[in-house]
Amino acid sequence: MKLEKLLVNCSEVSVLIPVIAGIRSYPVLTLPFKILFYFFVLSGLFEIQSRIAIVLWQNNMPGQHLFTVVQFIAFTLLFLLHTQRKSLRVLLVANMLVLFGFALFNAITSIKDPNSLARGYAAASLTVYALIYLYYLFAIDSTRYVWQYPMFWICIGILMYFTVNFMYIMTKQYLIAKHLDVEWVGHLLHSVLNIIAHCLYAQAFTSLRKWKTAS
């Protein structure tokens, strides 16, 4: 269990990676990436709140409920501000309202339990957003330089983190029903993917700085 504790601690601290990259790139950040930067700053505060809640009340789920909503808003706004298609913008806003409904349902039914419905829906939605964006990105520019686009790294980070998390959330209860101990596996998986995703998001900020400097 020492490995699990180490990875969980590293995962919590890893939010500093995109924060530091965002600070270095802040003068050239566009509005969508400023929103994302502020979200990562808030994420650090949520991590602190989570630790305090565990110590005081042995439960950090209320903060997790709120974090899911804040996270979804931040990433949805990122995609919203990167699309010129009015129909897609309408769908993004509508889907945000749907997520609010699921989050409210989770909070009303049990604020102290995991918000699996809202988290699962958010993960599935962001996965679809990333896939659609990558489809249009490769349709416009299929050269070997596509990795230079900041949003490319954001989408890869989303696919790495949210897709696997979504699969875990959807299959967790089934695995538990089969008497398999999946809690520690889930913690390890979440921690590793969280660290990788934060590195990819940091690369997005770095790519944007290099892109702006070069132009």
Q: What percent of the chain has pLDDT over 70?
A: 85
Segment 57-70, tens digit of pLDDT = 888 888 889 999 99
At residue 129, what is the residue type? Y
Return d(Cα 57, Cα 36) in angstroms, integer. Answer: 30
What does the pLDDT read at residue 215? Answer: 56
- pLDDT band with cut points at 50, 70 and 90 for residue 173: low
Return d(Cα 148, Cα 150) in angstroms, integer. Answer: 6
Provide the mean pLDDT of the chain. Answer: 86
160-to-53, 168, 171, 196, 206 alpha-carbon distances in Å: 28, 13, 17, 8, 19
Q: Would the pLDDT of 34 be above 60? A: yes
- pLDDT band with cut points at 50, 70 and 90 for residue 9: confident
Mean pLDDT, rounded, for 111-121: 87
Q: Would the pLDDT of 50 be above 70? A: yes
Segment 69-89, tens digit of pLDDT = 999 999 999 999 998 888 889
Instruction: State pTM to two decimals.
Output: 0.89
Q: Would the pLDDT of 165 be above 80? A: no
Q: Would the pLDDT of 176 be above 70? A: no
- Residue 175 neighbours by CB under 8 Å, 6+ apart: 182
DSSP H or E run through 161: helix 150-177
Q: Where are the domains of the chain?
A: 2-123+147-214
